[in-house]
């Protein structure tokens, strides 16, 4: 082995870089010297050479040399995470063991055991999110375990995905949607949970750009149009604050930033408001330089509220009570004299660094401080807590539960002894009990909140003091599943339900076996499964459960088995024949659909080469929308808008049936479009709206549903439109109707 490694070392040392590679290496080293505490140029150069040599025959989908991808990942590790030169080396080599002939032993010989362990961790979790089979829970666990052992593994994985999303336009549309969907569902929430807000925001925007490009372009244009006015407003807003802070000898930096595009879109959807009515489009951040402390943050808060009126409900103190990921800051929303709302964040430079870098910052503080970082220890504790929690049988359930706990807002509650516990928003006393200890959750019978007896199902609020009263026996209730939000509680209750179902199913099987023995009937499990399906059960276990619970008569099963046995067959030949026929038809249609247009996207024009198609009612696509096709099992193609939630589910669960779809240039048909209008109610308003549609736009209306309350009017209009441009024209015309305040496409 030593001779082999010596040979490889000599090969690397003698490897000649071309001009482009030399410039690329020089740029990487400059970044490292700028952002890292120390840089081993020789080690990074050797890793760069091995990266170039091992990938010298590989190219990316863009046609660029493959080595540029690991280099960009290494740059993200240096510039965004500022970890260390070891993580830069590991980033350069992160694909070598998986994709080339380089071995872990070679990595260890040339770069040391730490780099080897990081590469090993990355190789083990390779494809952790991509494989959506029953092993996903196990591979997801590996990811979390790798994080607990060395967080650089996960950070490199984030950097890898970030660069892949930045260059995603070179992939086919279907692969873009697949990657964007899994990134939005798993990587972005994980980045949020790890406090990597800058990375999370960019990932969300890049995904949004793929999933709903029309809405993305619209918001980018709107933000660009308002940029100059926004900068003027920020300057006017901050001038009196700046002057007073300088007068009080504060050293500070002020940043005014737009909220990221996807967060604005999400706010528009949740509030069902157009862009113009989303007022908190940006936040102003005041960062106090060292040696200012958290007490100084409160002094700055006092200065701001002397000048502007605060909104009490929008105040958040994350300094006294940090978020679970270590985030600290004061948040307040104030109103100017002209009635405009502005969000202001106040923090120290260290708090800002942790807010931007999250887990990476905690790791750095721990490395440089022998006393360690309590926040990093909390992360590791959280990971191990997830690993030790009982897991559901289905991987998809595990990941779904886990996701719910990644993105939710947090509340802060106290034990009777004053110990602080952080829970997801919406948590109940049951969640709190499981947070204390699994046994407390299992044996809980009632609870006290702020000294008063309450049901265990009661939802908690920040500041509540909670006491759990327990019994001597396990008191788990399957109905609690609807009252809990934490992964730990859901997993244990689901495990209890499964155990109970298995016990009842075993009792049902015993009843059947006794009845079969009395009647001297012999039948295999395989035959029982076929009979169960004839009774419309999914499998024999479900049938036995129904017998055990008394919902299905064992005598009825015995009678049917005897009947089929007397005929000498269990199979239903007609049913099997029909099934085979359906499979043949599906395969035939699947091949036809895939071959249309010599591999080009399908056209939605009514001539789909014998493949039937229809438009999904859940999202009502119209020409101009970004769309995808989903091939159903009977061979029909269902057309969805690419930002449709159901489409995301299909991409996640059945991606091989997704087909690229594009609109034909000339479509001689009309489509249903829904429009929401809100305004001040007045006599003749409905007549004015319908007149605009019928006379001014020659548009046929299918329906209008209106309601009026407190002088405000709200209506949903369904009209026949030609395409997206036609719908947008309708929106602009309706916006001009007197007393109408809001017009938007209704989702």
SS (H, E, C) 394-435: CHHHHHHHHHHHHHCCEEEEECCCCCEEEEECCCEHHHHHHH
Phi/psi of residue 717, each to 5°?
Answer: -105, 130
Instruction: Please pick, among 5, 40, 79, 99, the residue that the annotation labels catalytic.
Output: 99
Band (5; pLDDT cuts 50, 70, 90): low
Contact 661, 654 (CB under 8 A): no
More confident residue, 196 or 310: 310
pLDDT of 128: 45
pLDDT at residue 129 in the model: 42
**Rounded Cα–Cα distance for residues 519 and 261 (Å):** 70
Nearest to 457 by CA among 465, 542, 449: 449
CATH of domain 213-357: 3.30.460.10
Residue 594 binned pLDDT confidence (cut-offs 50, 70, 90): very low
Per-domain boundaries in the chain? 2-211, 213-357, 495-568, 575-662, 671-745
Residue, of 585 and 368, whose pLDDT is higher: 368
- pLDDT digits over 431-487, tens only? 999 989 889 999 999 999 988 998 899 999 888 899 999 988 888 888 898 899 888
Dist. CA 731–CA 721, nearest whole Å: 12
Q: Give me the chain's average pLDDT, please.
A: 81
pLDDT above 80 for 600: no
The answer on pLDDT for 373 being more than 80 is: no
Across 97-122, average pLDDT? 87
CA 559 to chain centre: 51
Pairing type for strands 613-615 and 466-470 reads: unpaired
Give the model's pLDDT for residue 562: 82
User: Which ranges in 15-84 belong to alpha helices (H)?
Assistant: 19-35, 41-54, 68-76
Instruction: Report the DSSP pairing between strands 637-641 and 613-615.
Output: parallel
Task: Inform me whether the pLDDT recorded for 231 exceeds 70.
Answer: yes
Is the model's pLDDT at 265 over the cut of 50?
A: yes
Q: Which helix (H) or strand (E) holds 743?
A: strand 740-745
Distance CA 746, CA 733 (A): 16
> How far apart, in whole angstroms, are the C-alpha atoms of residue 615 and residue 621?
7
99 catalytic residue (yes or no): yes
pLDDT, position 441: 92
Among 170-179, 244-253, 660-669, the least confident range: 660-669
Check pLDDT > 90 for residue 152: no
Find the mean pLDDT for residues 616-636.
82
DSSP code of residue 738: T
Give yes or no for a contact between 93 and 50, defined as CB atoms under 8 angstroms apart. Answer: yes
pLDDT of residue 142: 56
CA distance 405 to 409: 9
Q: Region 52-73: what's the mean pLDDT?
A: 92
Instruction: Give me the pLDDT at residue 743, please.
Output: 86
**pLDDT classification of 125: cutoffs 50, 70, 90:** low
568 Cβ contact list (under 8 Å, min separation 6): none
C-alpha 602/C-alpha 273 separation (Å) is 34
* pLDDT band at residue 570 under the 50/70/90 scheme: low
Is it the case that residue 92 has pLDDT exceeding 90? yes
Q: At 385, is the pLDDT very low, low, confident or very high (cuts 50, 70, 90)?
A: low
Candidate list 64, 98, 138, 522, residue with the active-site label: 98
74 has pLDDT over 50: yes
Cβ(482)–Cβ(432) below 8 Å:
no
Is it the case that residue 130 has pLDDT exceeding 70? no
Listed ranges 196-210, 547-561, 598-612; the one with the highest mean pLDDT = 196-210
Radius of gyration of the chain (CA): 31
- The answer to whether the 2-211 and 671-745 domains have the same CATH topology is no
Task: Decide: 206 and 262 in contact? Cβ < 8 Å.
Answer: no
Instruction: Write out the H or E segment, with its range, that includes residue 596.
Output: none
Classify domain 2-211 by CATH number: 1.10.3210.10
Cis peptide before 128 (omega within 30 of 0): no
Mean of the pLDDT values across residues 630-651? 80
- pLDDT on residue 449: 92
Q: pLDDT grade, residue 369 (50/70/90)?
A: low
The percentage of residues in the chain with a pLDDT greater than 90, rounded to a whole number, is 22
C-alpha neighbours within 13 Å on the C-beta side of residue 369: 12
Residue 557's CB: how many other CB atoms inside 10 A? Answer: 23
CATH superfamily placement of domain 671-745 = ACT domain (3.30.70.260)
C-alpha closest to that of 94 among 124, 65, 137, 64:
124
Per-residue confidence (pLDDT) for residue 601, from 0 to 100: 42
- Is the pLDDT assigned to residue 262 strictly greater than 70? yes
Poorest-pLDDT segment among 4-8, 84-88, 397-401: 397-401
**pTM, rounded to two decimals:** 0.67
Residue 98 known to be catalytic: yes
How many angstroms from the chain centroid is the CA of residue 25?
A: 34
pLDDT value of position 741: 82
Would the pLDDT of 568 be above 70?
no
Token pair recorded at residue 354: 């942790």
Does residue 390 surpass a pLDDT of 50? yes
Which stretch of 253-262, 272-281, 615-624, 684-693 has the lowest confidence by average pLDDT?
A: 272-281
């Amino acid at each position: 082995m030593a001779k082999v490694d010596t040979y490889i070392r000599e090969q690397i040392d003698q490897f000649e870089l071309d001009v482009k590679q030399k410039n690329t290496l020089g740029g990487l080293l400059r970044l490292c010297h700028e952002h890292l505490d120390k840089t081993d140029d020789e080690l990074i150069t050797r890793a760069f050479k091995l990266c170039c040599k091992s990938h010298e025959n590989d190219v990316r989908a863009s046609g660029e040399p493959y080595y540029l991808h690991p280099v960009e990942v290494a740059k993200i590790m240096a510039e965004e995470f500022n970890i260390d030169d070891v993580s830069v080396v590991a980033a350069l080599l992160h694909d070598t063991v998986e994709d080339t002939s380089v071995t872990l032993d070679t990595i260890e010989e040339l770069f040391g055991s730490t780099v080897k362990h990081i590469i090993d961790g990355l190789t083990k979790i390779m494809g952790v999110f991509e494989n959506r089979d029953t092993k996903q829970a196990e591979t997801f666990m590996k990811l979390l375990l790798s994080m607990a052992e060395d967080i650089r593994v996960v950070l490199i994985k984030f950097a890898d995905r970030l660069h892949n999303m930045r260059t995603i336009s070179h992939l086919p549309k279907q692969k873009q949607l697949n990657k964007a969907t899994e990134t939005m569902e798993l990587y972005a929430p994980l980045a949020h949970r790890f406090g990597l807000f800058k990375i999370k925001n960019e990932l969300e925007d890049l995904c949004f750009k793929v999933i709903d490009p029309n809405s993305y372009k619209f918001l980018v244009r709107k933000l660009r149009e308002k940029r100059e006015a926004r900068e003027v407003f920020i300057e006017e807003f901050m001038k009196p604050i700046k002057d007073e802070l300088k007068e009080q000898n504060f050293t500070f930096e002020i940043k005014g930033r737009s909220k990221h595009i996807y967060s604005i879109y999400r706010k528009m959807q949740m509030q069902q408001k157009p862009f113009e009515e989303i007022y908190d489009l940006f936040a102003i951040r005041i960062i106090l330089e060292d040696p200012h402390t958290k007490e100084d943050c409160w002094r700055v808060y006092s200065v701001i509220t002397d000048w502007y009126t605060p909104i009490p409900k929008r105040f958040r103190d994350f300094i006294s009570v940090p978020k679970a990921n270590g985030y600290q800051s004061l948040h307040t929303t104030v109103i100017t004299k002209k009635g405009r709302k502005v969000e202001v964040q106040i923090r120290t430079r260290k708090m800002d660094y942790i807010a931007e870098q999250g887990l990476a910052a905690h790791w750095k503080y721990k490395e440089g401080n022998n006393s360690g970082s309590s926040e990093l220890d909390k992360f590791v504790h959280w990971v191990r807590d997830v690993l030790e929690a009982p897991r559901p049988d289905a991987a998809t359930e595990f990941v779904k539960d886990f996701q719910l706990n990644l993105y939710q807002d947090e509340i802060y509650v106290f034990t009777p002894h004053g110990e602080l516990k952080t829970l997801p928003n919406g948590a109940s006393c049951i969640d709190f009990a499981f947070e204390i200890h699994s046994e407390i959750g299992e044996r809980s019978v009632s609870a006290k909140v702020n000294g008063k007896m309450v049901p265990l199902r009661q939802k908690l609020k920040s500041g509540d003091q909670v006491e759990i009263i327990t019994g001597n026996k396990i008191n788990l209730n399957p109905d609690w599943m609807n009252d809990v939000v934490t992964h730990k509680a859901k997993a244990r209750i689901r495990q209890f339900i499964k155990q109970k179902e298995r016990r009842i199913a075993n009792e049902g099987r015993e009843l059947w076996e006794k009845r079969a023995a009395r009647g001297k009937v012999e039948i295999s499990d395989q035959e029982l499964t076929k009979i169960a399906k004839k009774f419309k059960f999914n499998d024999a276990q479900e049938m036995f459960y129904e017998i055990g619970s008394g919902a299905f008569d064992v005598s009825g099963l015995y009678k049917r088995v005897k009947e089929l046995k007397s005929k000498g067959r269990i199979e239903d030949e007609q049913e099997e024949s029909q099934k085979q026929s359906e499979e043949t038809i599906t395969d035939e249609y699947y091949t036809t659909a895939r071959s249309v247009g010599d591999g080009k996207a399908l056209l939605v024009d009514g001539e789909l080469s014998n493949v039937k198609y229809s438009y999904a009612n859940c999202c009502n696509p119209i020409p101009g929308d970004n769309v995808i096709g989903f091939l159903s099992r009977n061979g029909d193609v269902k057309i969805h808008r690419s930002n449709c939630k159901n489409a995301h589910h299909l991409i996640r669960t059945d991606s091989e049936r997704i087909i690229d779809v594009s609109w034909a240039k000339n479509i001689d048909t009309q489509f249903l479009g829904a429009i929401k209008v809100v305004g001040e109610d007045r006599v003749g308003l409905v007549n004015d709206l319908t007149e605009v549609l019928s006379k001014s736009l020659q548009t046929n209306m299918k329906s209008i549903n209106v309601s009026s309350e407190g002088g405000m009017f709200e209506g949903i209009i369904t009209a026949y439109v030609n395409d997206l441009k036609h719908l947008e024209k309708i929106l602009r015309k309706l916006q001009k109707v007197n007393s109408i305040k809001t017009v938007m496409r209704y989702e």
